[in-house]
Amino acid sequence: MAHPSQLGFQDAASPIMEELLHFHDHAIMIVFLISALVLYIISLMMSTKLTHTNTMDAQEVEMIWTILPAIILILIALPSLRILYLMDEINNPHLTIKALGHQWYWSYEYTDYEDLMFDSYMIPTQDLQQGSFRLLEVDHRMVVPMESPIRMLISAEDVLHSWAVPALGIKTDAIPGRLNQTTFITSHPGLFYGQCSEICGSNHSFMPIVVEAVPLKHFEDWSTTMLTA
Q: What is the pLDDT of residues 137-189, one digit of tens each?
A: 999 999 999 999 999 999 999 999 999 999 999 999 999 999 999 999 999 99
| pTM listed for this prediction | 0.84
CB 159 within 8 A of CB 176: yes
Q: Where in the chain is the domain with CATH 1.10.287.90?
A: 15-88
What class does CATH assign to 95-228? mainly beta
Instruction: Look over the chain and give the mean of its residue pLDDT values, rounded to a whole number.
Output: 90
Give the pLDDT of residue 60.
78
Is pLDDT at 222 greater than 80 in this prediction?
yes
Is pLDDT at 198 greater than 80 in this prediction?
yes
pLDDT bin (cut points 50, 70, 90) of residue 5 is confident
Q: How far apart are CA 24 and CA 92, in angstroms?
A: 29
Give the pLDDT of residue 51.
66
Mean pLDDT of 192-205: 91
Give the pLDDT of residue 52.
65
Is pLDDT at 89 greater than 90 in this prediction?
no
Q: Where in the chain is the domain with CATH 2.60.40.420?
A: 95-228
CATH topology of domain 15-88: Helix Hairpins (1.10.287)
Give the pLDDT of residue 17.
93
Q: How far apart are CA 216 and CA 118, in angstroms?
A: 20
